[in-house]
Every structure is written in C-alpha cells, then in structure tokens.
C-alpha cells in the first residue's frame, strides 16, 4: 500500500496523468486512503483540484476521460468525502460536462444529475429540460421518464414555474408511457394550483381522459380550453382543441359531427406556420372518413397529415400512428402490398426510436 502523509495536489494530479484511462480504481483508493489520510483531508484535496480547474485541464490534455474519472469520483463521493465537499464535487463535474462542445444527450443527462446531486437545482433543470425535450423528439419516452422522475423526487426544492414544469413533464411522460391514472392525478393537482396554465393543462387532461374513453369528463375540459383559447386569440391552441373535440366525437361514433368540427379547424390550421400545424387533426378527420366509408377522402387527409409530420421535428409518434392508419386503409381496400409497406415504415420508425412503443 502507498503511504502518503499528507496527500498533496501534485501527487494526485501526477497519478491521474500517468495512469490516464487505465488507472486502477483500487490504486487510486490506496493513494486517497493512505495511512494517516482522513476523510476531511481527502475532501479538501479533491475540492482544491476542482476549484483550481486542474481536473478540467487534465481532461483537455486527453490524459484522462470523463467516464473513468466520473466513476472514480462517484466511488470516492460514496465512501470518503464529507457531504459539503461531495456537493461541491458534483457541481464541478456538472459544470465540466455541460461545457463540453457538441455535447450529446447522454452527457447532458449526466451533467444534470450531477447538478441535482450537488443541490444546484437551477443548473439541473437548465440542462435536464432540454435533454428531456430531445429525448421526446427521438421518442425515447422511457428514458425521458426515468430522467424526469429523478427531478420529480426532489420537487420540493423547486417553486413556481419550475415546480409546474416538472409536474407537467412528469404527467406528460406518464401518459405517453400508458400510465394514465398517475398522469391524470398529477395534472388535476396542477389544474387546481396553476389557473393561469389551464390553456395547456386542459389539453393534457382531456387527452388523457380520451385515452381512457372518459368522454363525458373530457368534454368539459375541451370546451373550457377552447373558450380560453378563443378568448386569448391563439389559433394554434384553437386548432388543438378542435382536434381533441373531433377525436371525442369519433369515440362517440358521431362521425358527421366530427368531420364538421375538424373541417373548421383545418381552415385555421392551413394558415399557421408549418411548424405550428397539427398533424393529428388530419389523422382524426382521415379516421372519420374511413369510418363512414369514404376511403378516397380518408387517404387524402392521412397523407396530408403525413406531410405535416415531415415539416415538424417532434411528430415521429404521430407519423407512426398515421402510417399505421394508412396501412389499415389499404388493407381495407385489399391493396395488401401497399398496406404492408406502410406498416413496415411505421415499425421501422418505432425501432429507430430507442424505446419500445406501446
């Protein structure tokens, strides 16, 4: 065993540089826990290294990679360092990771979790919220849910809009993963606390209720949301609520009324910026025409919805649903080759998403 008294900045830095990625964790522990080195001394030495940005310079030199050092520090934090110093180290690791150029989503998550563990809550959400949005665009719903759950566990440390956003993201991802009861419970709690956010909460609540086929309760939230949207003059939200209302009418087998409602919404949607348009609206009216037996119009609207999906960056899930419905339509028309092609396209996108689609 290596005996070092006291542990010096020079020895630790030189050890990291010499051994680099191949450094043995047990060797480093021997150095850190050499005879006469107490927990406070180890903590002070590591804290000093971070404060002087020495570790960052080692990273930049290419002598040691973050994965190796990250594992070492996590192990050290678990066993050897005072709580205050552990928080400082987590914060410094978060800063290092979050300043990487071309940072990928996994590194963003690691940085955010380090901030969270370092009790730097504002830094945590500044990194984790964009990472969650990126995962949602990739349809990695289960991964996104695992991240938001870690924020949700510490939600008592957040106030105001941050508290709200954590709850909303948590509920949305619970809904997308099929846990409707958990999602609805959270949304109704937020509905009671944040009146000014009802324009978006009503949409999430009614959508959740539609998935549970609770049409009578969903109708109340759709109508309230539609009135708020009209009162504030927000065309995109008006379209969203019309699409939900049309979907509800389909569920009640009122296909003619559903078509009338969706047609009104399409007049508004067609004037929106292409990135604001709602592909689900065209999917819903396509289904309405499918159910009344007008397959030509059904195909027209399904394909229009598919084109809008290509304009928007976060519509992969909607694209899968529309491709599935196009497959269903062609199967009904006994065009089995085209139906199979559409189904396979949907499966291909689902496989590339990284999560298992329900």
How far is the CA of 118 from the CAs of 88, 128, 130, 252, in angstroms? Answer: 6, 14, 19, 51
Distance CA 213, CA 104 (A): 39
pLDDT of 64 reads 44
Mean pLDDT of 320-337: 94
CA-nearest of 260, 197, 266 to 232 is 197
Q: Judge whether residue 39 has pLDDT over 60.
A: no
Q: Judge whether residue 201 has pLDDT over 60.
A: yes
Task: Evaluate whether 222 touches 206 at the Cβ level (below 8 Å).
Answer: yes
Q: Across the chain, what does the average pLDDT equal?
A: 80
Q: What is the SS3 assignment for 232?
A: helix
Distance CA 215, CA 68 (A): 53
Q: Judge whether residue 41 has pLDDT over 70.
A: no
Q: pLDDT category, 8, cuts 50, 70, 90?
A: low
Q: What is the SS3 assignment for 252?
A: coil
pLDDT of 348 reads 87
Distance CA 276, CA 261 (A): 19
What pLDDT digit, counting tens, does each position of 211-226 carry? 999 999 999 999 999 9
Distance CA 212, CA 175 (A): 11
What pLDDT digit, counting tens, does each position of 46-59 carry? 555 555 555 555 55
Distance CA 251, CA 232 (A): 28
The mean-pLDDT minimum among 66-70, 82-86, 123-127, 183-187 falls in 66-70
Mean pLDDT of 184-191: 96
Q: pLDDT category, 95, cuts 50, 70, 90?
A: confident
How far is the CA of 76 from the CAs of 34, 71, 95, 96, 137, in angstroms? Answer: 14, 9, 19, 18, 36
pLDDT of 25 reads 45
Q: Judge whether residue 86 has pLDDT over 80.
A: no
pLDDT of 7 reads 46
Which is higher by pLDDT, 311 or 34? 311
pLDDT above 70 covers what percent of the chain?
73
Distance CA 277, CA 118 (A): 40
pLDDT of 13 reads 53
The mean-pLDDT minimum among 1-5, 247-251, 297-301 falls in 1-5
pLDDT of 343 reads 94
Cis peptide before 6 (omega within 30 of 0): yes
H or E element, residue 164: helix 160-176
pLDDT of 273 reads 86
**Torsion 204-206-209-211 (CA) sign:** negative
The alpha carbons of the chain give a radius of gyration, in whole angstroms, of: 26
What pLDDT digit, counting tens, does each position of 229-249 carry? 999 999 999 999 999 999 999
* Entry pTM: 0.74
Task: Evaluate whether 208 touches 175 at the Cβ level (below 8 Å).
Answer: yes
What pLDDT digit, counting tens, does each position of 265-291 carry? 999 999 988 888 889 999 999 999 999
Q: Judge whether residue 164 has pLDDT over 70.
A: yes
Q: Judge whether residue 339 has pLDDT over 80.
A: yes
């Amino acid at each position: 065993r290596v005996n070092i008294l006291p542990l010096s900045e020079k020895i630790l830095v030189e050890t990291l540089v010499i051994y680099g990625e191949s450094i043995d964790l047990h060797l480093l522990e021997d150095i850190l826990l050499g005879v006469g080195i107490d927990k406070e001394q180890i903590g002070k030495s590591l804290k000093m290294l971070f404060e002087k940005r020495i570790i960052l310079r080692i990273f930049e030199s290419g002598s040691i990679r973050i994965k190796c050092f990250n594992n070492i520090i996590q192990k050290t934090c678990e066993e050897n360092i005072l709580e205050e110093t552990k928080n400082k180290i987590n914060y410094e690791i978060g800063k290092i990771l979050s300043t990487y150029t071309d940072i990928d989503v996994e590194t963003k998550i690691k940085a955010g979790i380090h901030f969270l563990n370092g009790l730097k809550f504002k830094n945590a959400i500044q990194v984790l919220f964009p990472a969650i949005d990126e995962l949602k665009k990739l349809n990695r719903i289960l991964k996104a849910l695992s991240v938001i759950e870690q924020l949700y566990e510490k939600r008592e440390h957040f106030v105001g809009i941050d508290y709200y956003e954590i709850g909303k993201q948590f509920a949305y991802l619970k809904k997308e993963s099929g846990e409707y009861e958990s999602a609805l419970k959270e949304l109704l709690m937020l509905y009671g606390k944040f009146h000014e956010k009802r324009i978006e909460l009503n949409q999430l609540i009614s959508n959740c209720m539609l998935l549970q086929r609770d049409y009578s309760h969903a109708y109340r939230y759709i109508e309230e949301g539609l009135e708020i949207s009209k009162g504030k003059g927000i065309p995109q939200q008006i379209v969203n609520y019309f699409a939900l209302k049309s979907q509800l009418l389909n569920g009640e087998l009122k296909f003619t009324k559903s078509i009338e409602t969706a047609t009104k919404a399409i007049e508004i949607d067609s004037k929106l910026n292409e990135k604001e348009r709602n592909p689900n609206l065209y999917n819903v009216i396509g289904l309405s025409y499918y159910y009344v037996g007008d397959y030509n119009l059904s195909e027209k609207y399904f394909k229009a919805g598919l084109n809008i999906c290509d304009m928007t960056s976060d519509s992969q899930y909607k694209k899968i649903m529309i491709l599935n419905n196009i497959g269903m339509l062609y199967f009904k028309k006994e065009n089995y080759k085209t139906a199979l092609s559409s189904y396979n396209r949907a499966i291909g996108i689902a496989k590339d998403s990284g999560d298992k689609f329900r």
